[in-house]
Amino acid sequence: MNATPSPEKDLKAQLDGATPVMAQYLEVKAANPGSLLFFRMGDFYELFFEDAEQAAGALSLALTKRGKHQGEDIPMAGVPAHAAEAYIAKLIRMGFRVAICDQLEDPSEAKKRGYKAVVKRGITRIVTPGTLTEESLLEERGANRLVALSQRAGVMALASLELSTGEVECLELTPETLGTHLSALRPSESLVSDRILQDENLYALLKYCGGAIQPQPASLSDPAAGEARLKRLYGVETLDGFGAFSPAELSALGMLAAYIDLTQAGKAPLLKAPRKVASLAYLAIDPSTRLSLEIERTQKGSREGSLMSAIDRTITSGGSRLLAARLSRPLNNPVEINRRLDGVQWFLAQRTLRQEVRGRLRGMSDMARALSRLGLGRGGPRDLKVIRDCLDLAKDLVGLLQPNDPETRLDPDWPAEIHAHVEALTASQNVLDLLFKLDTALVDEPPLSTRDGGFIKPGYDTNLQDAISLRNDSRQIILRMESDLQQETGLPLKIKYNAVLGYFIELTAKQAEALSDTHRQRFIHRQTLANQMRFSTPDLIDLDARIARAGSDALNLELAIFEDLREEVRRNAHPLQDMFDAFCALDVAAAAAEWAEDLEATRPVVDDSLVFDAKGARHPVVVAALRTEGKPFTPNDCCLDASGQSGPRLDLVTGPNMAGKSTFLRQNALLVITAQAGLFVPAASFRLGVVDRLFSRVGAGDDLAQGRSTFMMEMVETAAILTQATQRSFVILDEIGRGTATFDGLAIAWACAENLHEVVKARALFATHYHELAQLESLLAHTHNISMTAREWNGELIFLHEAKRGAADRSYGVQVARLAGMPPVVVARAKDILERLETDKAHQLKLDDLPLFATVQAQVAVAAVQKPAETELEKAVKGINPDDLSPREALEVIYRLRGLV
């Protein structure tokens, strides 16, 4: 195979005998390992050696050869530069990284340095999954995040950056909570120091929800160097203005900064100040719970059928991204949740205004992404138009939302949330100046790229006006010259243009023969083709030069004006980003109100209690699915109280197969997410004492760590719930213990239910087919039996889907098997066996054998055998990696440990 000479090999040896261009290629390639190198040559991006072979395979390109290197053919594949974006998108989706090496000067410049001089080339960007900015490469309604994970002195930190919108945040966490945060951010790419990747569990987790993993050398995670890089990235002398960051956070943020520097080839993107997030500010949802509740995606990975798709009525792509972010990371502070709810309620009450706002938002483009492209020097005139249109829209919305009467501005009904958004949309004088400039400078419908000009109104600048007039006049002159020459020669010659010859006179071979001697002397021969001959004249050469100058003068002037406008946009980046956030938040509030109206959803009462009291609640996704089939959904109540005062702490849910147990469990968990995301809920009423962690063990889970059986996974997840849940948590457990022998399963289910009730004390729903568990109601103080009802009528099983107080008597499994189309002979046989089992006492579970009355003792025993919780000191010591520490950090660690004793 013609492998690219590896960077490890001596570059000098590789360069031996290489042509100048190939030497340039090899140097760039050696400096950028790990990426496919797109090497610009004229109108194409070419790939060589192994890169060519890989790209040809991945993109179905023709694999050709270009000369020889050290005696062997050089494989080559190429894509036209104008179509490169589509090919790059495909490669990124396949998991490649692409380094773009562009020509940094015009070939004519190189020629001036000598016949053999090579055009200067350099990396202008490395395209990676987490650093995309182009519309065509980004998912419109999905976020695209890059994260960095670091561990310093026993503290772990996760930093995240969204280049296309400028969001940056970081937080400290523990290895146990990493999954919760990582799965909420769903990064496209993760930068992780080599050393952390050696931890198998962390590696498995990152592989599962970290996107493309980019191992980073330990040298890049040094906090002091990270701080210096951050200062450079933000162009500040000190980070104090952003807040105080721990060494672990600086290390993670510093890794992001280094990667941005590398991939953007030194260009500084427009980033918001890094936001320090408190790890406990959000409802914690671990990856398996997230997956089983199908919040942003279904278990199969599609958006359709998820909670997000059922709720999303947003108009703009930014609004949709914000809603997804809120559903992925619901809050747990009642004050903040209620603030969001105020906004929704306000819009719900103002139907006409809401429709008007939504109508206005319909025309809005993605300003954040346009801004980010302009910031990186990648944007075009159309991105400026997006900014202009959004500024116009902001003015419009402020007028619409602001109460007309200045007095009512203090109207208490105008929620703080809406007020803050209107403030952000109200342009400062600088922003108004920018809008004025964009309005006067930019044509109404500018092209995507600056390449051909035509995006600045000629009247904006007198020099531009002059150059354009000359260019346009010259075209007239060409036409005049053509007709003069036609008359003079009596031949229907044409004056044409191409990039190589410029303007030229074209005649057919026959016409050329008919030229008079005088004309033959005046016409300068330029080219002979099969049927045509091309000439020039001194006048035409002169005119050609003038036109070319006027054209390039006009283009250069337009480019200078574009740069000026771009710079002005850059200067106003922060208010523009705030404006964009306000657009998105308004879109979400109005869309949430729209959804609330559609679904007759109500405002949840969110407080600090330990209550969960839902009346007439519905499952938003199942409702939508049934609605398409024209079927109704049966609303249900669920009342729990972890304190045991106003309701049970634990509901044991029994009922036949297909009766709606899982739906009931999930619907209540989704109520928690929806309410804490600051949205109305599909229920007649709902009171919720905020939940700190949500746990769901429903159905077969995905094996994150691989190699574990379904039952093992179930046990691992259940163990995590029992050890991590607190009294403020909300737990749903579905059919724990079903994957093993009946007695083992029942015993495990029994013990788990007891532990949940007696030790964890969280609000919990526990669905089971072990009807024996119903006995627990009489043994545990705060447990109720709930059953999903069904009736047998004329031999038919009818599901009522009603959650009623009391235990179910039977499972109707055989009837359900019949409904599922099981062969009649098997159903009949199953019925027969069931009857025998039910009458055969020997096979029946003897309840007396179970330690029904040993519940309390059992709990004491459980508590005794439970491993004592790890102390803070133990946790801190375990997290220290001595190799990571500088002497100064080691001293800080000693002080910190001393403080924990």
Distance between CA 359 and CA 362 in Å, rounded? 5
Distance between CA 13 and CA 18 in Å, rounded? 10
- Binding of ligand ATP at residue 737 (CB under 6 A)? no
Bridge partners (DSSP) listed for residue 75: 65
Q: Which stretch binds ligand ATP (CB under 6 A): 268-276, 277-285, 654-662, 869-877?
A: 654-662
Nearer to ligand ATP, 40 or 801 (CB): 801
Q: How far is the CB of 659 from ligand ATP (least distance, A)?
A: 4
Q: Which of 290, 385, 801, 818 binds ligand ATP (CB under 6 A)?
A: 801
Q: How far is the CB of 266 from ligand ATP (least distance, A)?
A: 55
Using CB under 6 A as the binding rule, the residues of this chain from 634 to 653 that contact ligand ATP are 634, 636
Is the separation of the CB atoms in 808 and 658 below 8 Å? Answer: no
Buried b (16+ CB within 10 A) or exposed e, 773-811: bbbbbeebebbbbbbbbbeeeeeebebebbbeeebbeeb
Is the separation of the CB atoms in 586 and 420 below 8 Å? Answer: no
Nearer to ligand ATP, 556 or 685 (CB): 685
Is the separation of the CB atoms in 735 and 657 below 8 Å? Answer: no
Q: How far is the CB of 899 from ligand ATP (least distance, A)?
A: 50
Q: How far is the CB of 653 from ligand ATP (least distance, A)?
A: 8
Distance between CA 106 and CA 93 in Å, rounded? 32
Angle at 605 between CA 602 and CA 608, to 5 degrees: 160
Helices 573-599, 429-441: crossing angle, 10 deg rounding = 90
Q: Which stretch binds ligand ATP (CB under 6 A): 439-447, 628-636, 686-694, 863-871?
A: 628-636
Distance between CA 815 and CA 337 in Å, rounded? 45
Nearer to ligand ATP, 541 or 819 (CB): 819
Report how many residues bind ligand ATP under the rule CB under 6 A: 15
657 in a known ligand binding site:
yes
Nearer to ligand ATP, 491 or 767 (CB): 767
Q: Parallel, antiparallel, or unpaired for β 783-793 and 524-528?
A: unpaired
- Binding of ligand ATP at residue 334 (CB under 6 A)? no
Q: Other CB atoms closer than 10 Å to residue 300's CB: what's the count?
A: 8
217 in a known ligand binding site:
no
Q: How far is the CB of 642 from ligand ATP (least distance, A)?
A: 24
Nearer to ligand ATP, 501 or 817 (CB): 817
Nearer to ligand ATP, 311 or 658 (CB): 658
Is the separation of the CB atoms in 131 and 163 below 8 Å? Answer: yes
- Binding of ligand ATP at residue 815 (CB under 6 A)? no
Q: Which helix (H) or strand (E) holds 681?
A: none
Q: How far is the CB of 632 from ligand ATP (least distance, A)?
A: 7
Q: How far is the CB of 811 from ligand ATP (least distance, A)?
A: 8
| CA 29 to chain CA mean position, Å | 30
- Binding of ligand ATP at residue 655 (CB under 6 A)? yes
- Binding of ligand ATP at residue 299 (CB under 6 A)? no
Nearer to ligand ATP, 326 or 619 (CB): 619
Q: Which stretch binds ligand ATP (CB under 6 A): 182-190, 212-220, 464-472, 658-666?
A: 658-666
Bridge partners (DSSP) listed for residue 494: 506
Annotate 292-314 with DSSP letters as a single string.
Answer: HHTSSS-TTS-STTSHHHHH---
Distance between CA 871 and CA 877 in Å, rounded? 10
* Integer CA distances (angstroms), 49 to 75, 115, 291, in order: 5, 27, 42
Distance between CA 425 and CA 167 in Å, rounded? 19
338 in a known ligand binding site:
no
Nearer to ligand ATP, 361 or 599 (CB): 599
- Binding of ligand ATP at residue 633 (CB under 6 A)? yes
Q: How far is the CB of 800 from ligand ATP (least distance, A)?
A: 9
Helices 351-361, 334-349: crossing angle, 10 deg rounding = 100
- Binding of ligand ATP at residue 661 (CB under 6 A)? yes
Using CB under 6 A as the binding rule, the residues of this chain from 2 to 31 that contact ligand ATP are none
**Residue 368 three-state SS:** helix
| CA 656 to chain CA mean position, Å | 40
Q: How far is the CB of 799 from ligand ATP (least distance, A)?
A: 6
Nearer to ligand ATP, 170 or 658 (CB): 658
Q: How far is the CB of 600 from ligand ATP (least distance, A)?
A: 16
Nearer to ligand ATP, 586 or 659 (CB): 659
Q: Parallel, antiparallel, or unpaired for β 167-173 and 650-654?
A: unpaired
Q: How far is the CB of 685 from ligand ATP (least distance, A)?
A: 17
- Binding of ligand ATP at residue 697 (CB under 6 A)? no
Residue 191 makes CB contacts below 8 A (sequence gap 6+) with 146, 147, 148, 149, 214, 216, 255, 256, 259
Distance between CA 516 and CA 117 in Å, rounded? 44
Nearer to ligand ATP, 36 or 653 (CB): 653
655 in a known ligand binding site:
yes
Q: Which of 216, 288, 663, 768 binds ligand ATP (CB under 6 A)?
A: 663
Taking alpha carbons only, the member of 593, 611, 591 closest to residue 602 is 593
- Binding of ligand ATP at residue 660 (CB under 6 A)? yes
308 in a known ligand binding site:
no
Q: Which stretch binds ligand ATP (CB under 6 A): 15-23, 212-220, 460-468, 626-634?
A: 626-634
Query: Cα torsion for 206, 209, 215, 216, to the nearest 10°?
Result: -100
659 in a known ligand binding site:
yes
Q: How far is the CB of 793 from ligand ATP (least distance, A)?
A: 17
Q: How far is the CB of 631 from ligand ATP (least distance, A)?
A: 7
Residue 55 makes CB contacts below 8 A (sequence gap 6+) with 36, 47, 61, 77, 87, 91
- Binding of ligand ATP at residue 310 (CB under 6 A)? no
Phi–psi pair at 744, nearest 5 degrees: -60, -45
Q: Which of 659, 675, 679, 736 binds ligand ATP (CB under 6 A)?
A: 659
Q: Which helix (H) or strand (E) holds 457?
A: none
Nearer to ligand ATP, 118 or 626 (CB): 626
Q: How far is the CB of 830 from ligand ATP (least distance, A)?
A: 16
226 in a known ligand binding site:
no
Using CB under 6 A as the binding rule, the residues of this chain from 754 to 793 that contact ligand ATP are 788
Taking alpha carbons only, the member of 369, 381, 325, 420 closest to residue 555 is 381
Distance between CA 552 and CA 324 in Å, rounded? 47
Q: Which stretch binds ligand ATP (CB under 6 A): 89-97, 550-558, 655-663, 775-783?
A: 655-663
- Binding of ligand ATP at residue 657 (CB under 6 A)? yes
Nearer to ligand ATP, 365 or 662 (CB): 662
Nearer to ligand ATP, 344 or 653 (CB): 653
861 in a known ligand binding site:
no
Q: Which of 418, 569, 622, 880 binds ligand ATP (CB under 6 A)?
A: 622
List residues binding ligand ATP (CB under 6 A).
622, 626, 633-634, 636, 655, 657-663, 788, 801
Annotated binding site: 655-662
Annotated binding site for ATP: 655-662
